[in-house]
Each structure stands twice: as structure tokens, then as C-alpha cells.
Homo-oligomer: A and B are copies of this chain.
Amino acid sequence: MNAEIISVGTEILMGQITNTNARYLSEKLASLGVDVYFQTTVGDNFERLKQALSIAFSRSNMVILTGGLGPTGDDITKEAAASYFDMPLYLNDEALAAIEKYFQKLNRKMTKNNEKQAMFPKEAIILPNDNGTAPGCIMEKGDKAAILLPGPPNEMVPMFEKYVIPYLKEKSRDVIYSKVLRFIGIGEAALEERLSDLLESQTNPTLALYAKEGEVTVRVSAKAKDENEAKKLVEDMCGVLISRCPDEFYAYGDDNSLVKVVCKALMERNLSISTAESCTGGLLGQNITSIPGASQIFSQGIITYSNSAKMQYLGVREETLKTHGAVSCECAKEMAQGMRRISNSDISVAITGIAGPSGGTAEKPVGLVYISLAHKNGVCVKKFNFSGSREKIRNYAVLNALNLVREYLNGTLDKQGEKLLNKNKCSVWRIFIWRIKRLKKKAQLTKRMLY
């Protein structure tokens, strides 16, 4: 099966936004075994869109369109597709009721021009929109099908997953089964090297590596006559991949993420976490609380951006800041320990570093970040030298803070640190493991910290 993607929107042609929809759809279609040979972007122009549809349908029987389903006169995707198929549009009462309901939920009145969004050909399959006013639809004629989806990714993605994937699976003859493996703490090139023999000899299943900021995913896809056969091919290959990188593999799944995996593990073990952030300024807290139900494991975090805040809230000693500076192993350690004391959480993670673009020195360059984890038996710190933009450095810091928690939970904190340092030439290494020996000082320290 093959398909084409048409992205509709003058804002894409003007370069005001990046076309992330085409990428998302292409990736999903590839994983479903649907080949995409062309992507086209066209503006909000009736004639040009009809022309693009006609070209696309001359090459493929299925065209997926995004954008142009809004309520204004500019939005012409549905009208152009219906005109291409020669299908008149009618007001669909069910779709109209759904739009009205959406407005009620927002406590706003529906305007007359939203009615346009409820106009569909009689034959169309309507795809409800749970996150906006624009329903999507599938128009079929003969062996041709146009799938119309809204432009905003937060509306398009859920609609595609809920309604279009089942539709596509039903259409396909071969069964495709695929699984995504997620790795952290290893670069794309290093992973490619470790898997080079598998990558070179791949036929079925196929392997596709993809590097995102700070992590690498591998998609394993197999085609077979039935699902069991395809599944077996994929599972066997997954086993081999994981055996090559047992410490770096952290989860399966396309929409999984390190923060999800870590939060889930904390929830399962009933462990609480708190955060003390300097250079990331709340990004770690934000990541943890992006997970629904985070309140089970997270009750508090402190953003101590200034030195005085580090002393005021976390009890970092003035001497430490004077001798070692705020971006130091010692400060990170005291931040994590201080946070754990005041929050009474099982684990506290602290991040301090230089995110740039300025503020770096020869001794402490931009990208230098210390991440510390305090737990019931002690505290450890890792030193990182990240490179890239301020945003990238902050993202890497948070990802590696989460990875530290993962390693702690897996009991691989020691092993991993040394391994990365010695074998993979990774810029990530572990410096110290401290044991808190004088727990008796806790009460005193707490007092000092609060004033």
C-alpha cells in the first residue's frame, strides 16, 4: 500500500511554521507498512489544492491531507476534496452537535461560521475531534480515498491515532508489526557501531535508527502473512538488540519517554522525588509534572537560581560557594542533600551548571553541568560537559538527571558510570559517591538552612 501526504497551509509556504505534521505522518505510515513516495505542501488556494490532489491521485490511491479545516473562508481543504470527488456538502447534524458541545465546554458561544465545519459529503466517514472544533473525514470513491485531518498537531495526532490507524490496518493485506526500542546514554554513532553487522544484513525485520536530542531509538519492523509470524521476527531481533546494550536500553514504545518510564518506576515502588534546580530553572520539575498523576511521587521542587537562594532554601554553605563556586560537584551535592532534608522525599535530584550562551570560563566552560542524586544511603554526583545551544544544554541536563534516577532505581549507578567513562569515551562520567556519615547533624543543618 502507498500513500501521499498533502499539507495545506499558506503559513507553511511562507515559512512561518515547520511542517512537523508531514514528518509525523510519514513516520507512522512507515511503521504501518504504507510507503510514502511524495509529500506536497500547497497554500490555502482552492484551484492549486485541486491540482495537487489530481497529481497525487495519479500516483497513489490514498492521500492524507492536513490543515484547512477551520471555520473561515480561507479554509478550503474539505471543499476542494469534495469538489475533486464531485460530492456535494451537506450540514451534518451530529458533527454540528459535537462542535456546539465543544463550545459549551469552553463556555463560549459558537459563531455562525463554525457551521461550515459541520458540512460533509453524505458518503464521508466523519472523524470526531476531541481537541478542537474541526472534525476530520475520510472521502472514498472507487479505489481512491482522501483522509482529511486538522492542521494543529495537538488535534491531528490524537485523531490519526484513534481513527485513522484502525482504518489503515483494516485496508492492509500484509501484516506489519513493529516495535521501537529506546536507548539512553549512548550516541547514535556508537550504537550504529555496536549494531553494524545487524544493520548491514537487515532484510526482514528492518532496523531504523533515529537520534533525538540525547537519546536514540531503533524501530524494528517485520512484514509477514500473519501477526504471530511478524511478532516473532520482531521479538527475536529485539532480544538481540537489548543483549548488545543492556544498560542503555530503557524502554519500548514510540510514545514512551524517559520521564514517563522513570515516573512510572517511582510510582510502582512508591518512592517520592523532589528537585532542586539552578541552570534548568524548573525544566526538570516541569518534565516530572507533565506526567498525569505525578502528585503521587512529586510534592515539591525549588528553583534556586541565585547563590543566596541556594543558601536560603537548601542550606548550601557559603564556604562551598566561595571555595568551589555554584557550578561544582560540592554545591550540587549540598543542593541535593538539602532538598532531601527539607522535603523528606526518598530521592532528591539537583542540577547546577552553565547553560550559556555566556558565563563560561576556560576552567568552567558553557555546558559544564553537575547533577546530583541524594538517597537514603548517600549522595552521588555526575559531571557532564554538554555542547550546543542553551536550550540543548538544559534539555540534556534534564534527560541525564532522569537517567541518573533510572540508574539508581536499576542499581546500575556505579557500573554505568565507570563503563561510560572507560569504554565508550562518553563525556559523561561519575566522580564521587559519598556516604552521609553524620546523620546526627541533620537537625542542626535543617535549622541553619531555614535561616
Contact = CB atoms under 8 A, between A and B. Distances in A.
Interface of A: 10-20, 22-30, 36-43, 45, 48, 52, 55, 71-72, 102, 105-109, 111, 113, 131, 154, 189, 192, 208, 210, 217, 219, 254, 275, 277, 279-286, 288-290, 292-295, 298-306, 308-309, 312-313, 343, 356-358, 385, 387-392, 394, 425, 427, 450
Contact of A385 (B107, B113, B305, B425): B107
A25 B277 CA distance: 35
B26 A13 contact: yes
Nearest to A291: B390
Contact of A281 (B154, B290, B308, B387): B290
Given A108-B425, A303-B285, A356-B292, A210 B16 contact: yes
Contacts of A219: 14, 16
A208 B16 contact: yes
Given A282-B282, A284-B282, A25 B15 contact: yes
11 contacts: A19-B22, A38-B48, A102-B387, A131-B392, A275-B303, A282-B282, A282-B301, A286-B286, A292-B358, A299-B306, A299-B308
A81 B219 CA distance: 28
Given A285-B303, A289-B303, 7 more contacts: A14-B208, A18-B20, A38-B48, A282-B283, A282-B301, A302-B302, A302-B303
Contacts of A38: 13, 40-42, 48, 52
A43 B5 CA distance: 13
A18 to B, nearest CB: 5
A391 B290 contact: yes
Contacts of A40: 38-41
B299 A288 contact: no
Contacts of A357: 292
B22 A41 contact: yes
B37 A48 contact: yes
Of A14, A23, A38, A45, most buried by chain B (CB within 10 Å of CB) is: A14
